[in-house]
Chains A and B, each alone.
Chain A
């Protein structure tokens, strides 16, 4: 066997590690996220009492999604995690969207043309 030409596989996963360097999120960042979440909650409640027609549920959900994203990125450290973790989190929400889309398309098409 020609050992000279063999590709080095880095069995220890040390030379070029796939996991990211450990990062500690600072308390200041946590405070900013905390403040943003409280403000978001206040806006959600105030917006619900204003008649904006079809925009009401859209705004409520948009704020909820924004809050969820900053919780995931900072409180749950995903912003500072490896690609593996980011892909895993993304895959979870993607699968959830597939669940919603497929089931809704069935639901909507059941009575297709009967309205």
Chain B
């Protein structure tokens, strides 16, 4: 195992040595008094990292809030061009991936090596499926000329009737602001997808290590902390889906 450190006898002072029973595990670093303390320190560190992630995504959610308030007509018609069936399916896919991750943590806790590996593979598969659906949605945006930039077209928003849409046509200046919606859409889902890609790379590594039996002998921290990251990425999507896809679906009379 890579993480083996010297399992020298513990010589640090304790108030009552007899009370302080050491279970010498290879992953137990000597500067932690107990395994629980080490475990909590790890969770604490992981949560501090996730707090920076909350602020990072929070900034984008805030930009969304302001621009949605500002250019609401542009945001509603642009939002209605997103693919709800694919977005909803992706929500279910991501929840399923998170569910298998949670079961993976459980499998590691009860030291079932084979089950842990299977759960990590299922987590990865559903993560990849999510990215596949996402890629298809991006492709649809490309075909509709809804990617902000030189090839962006407001035609669907200034003349919706020509595309068989029942939306109210927008004035050209408001129609231009749909680019801001799509910019935020790509920024937010893109950063979310980047987090997924990083997570999937880490999953390959963890699956390999789990296969070698590193996490089924009482050392669960890497699986548990990766689980925290994966669930955090889930939560971001739980907010992205209604905010981006479902702004104003109902008045399409």
Binding site for B on A (CB under 8 A): 8-15, 17, 19-22, 24-27, 30-31, 33-34, 37-38, 41, 44-45, 48-52, 56-57, 60-61, 63-64, 67-68, 71-72, 74-77, 81-82, 84-85, 88-89, 91-93, 95-96, 99-100, 103-104, 107
B40 contacts A14, C-beta separation under 8 Å: no
Place the interface of chain B in its size category.
35 or more
Q: Which residues of B contact A34 (CB under 8 A)?
A: 95-96, 99
Helix, strand, loop or mixed for chain B's interface? helix
Helix, strand, loop or mixed for chain A's interface? helix
Nearest-CB residue, chain B, relative to A52:
B250
Q: Contact check: which of A22, A72, A91 meets B39 at CB < 8 Å?
A: A22
Q: Contact check: which of B13, B50, B102, B243 meets A92 at CB < 8 Å?
A: B50
Say yes or no: A51-B48 contact (C-beta < 8 A), given A30-B102, A34-B99, A64-B239: no
Nearest-CB residue, chain A, relative to B251:
A51
A92 contacts B62, C-beta separation under 8 Å: no
11 contacts between A and B (CB under 8 A): A9-B15, A13-B33, A19-B37, A20-B36, A30-B102, A33-B102, A61-B242, A82-B40, A88-B51, A99-B58, A99-B59
**A95 vs B141: C-alpha distance when bound (angstroms):** 35
Q: Which residues of B contact A85 (CB under 8 A)?
A: 40, 43-44, 47
Q: Which residues of A contact B98 (CB under 8 A)?
A: 71, 75
Q: Contact check: which of A22, A41, A57, A84 meets B95 at CB < 8 Å?
A: A41
Binding site for A on B (CB under 8 A): 13-15, 19-20, 33-34, 36-37, 39-40, 43-44, 47-48, 50-51, 54-55, 58-59, 62, 65-66, 84, 88, 91-92, 95-96, 98-99, 101-103, 105-106, 109-110, 224, 227-228, 231-232, 234-235, 238-239, 241-243, 246-251
Q: Contact check: which of B33, B62, B95, B238 meets A103 at CB < 8 Å?
A: B62
A19 contacts B36, C-beta separation under 8 Å: yes
The 3 closest A-B pairs by CB, nearest first: A92-B51, A48-B246, A60-B242
Q: Which residues of A contact B246 (CB under 8 A)?
A: 44-45, 48, 60
Q: Contact check: which of B13, B39, B47, B51 meets A11 at CB < 8 Å?
A: B13
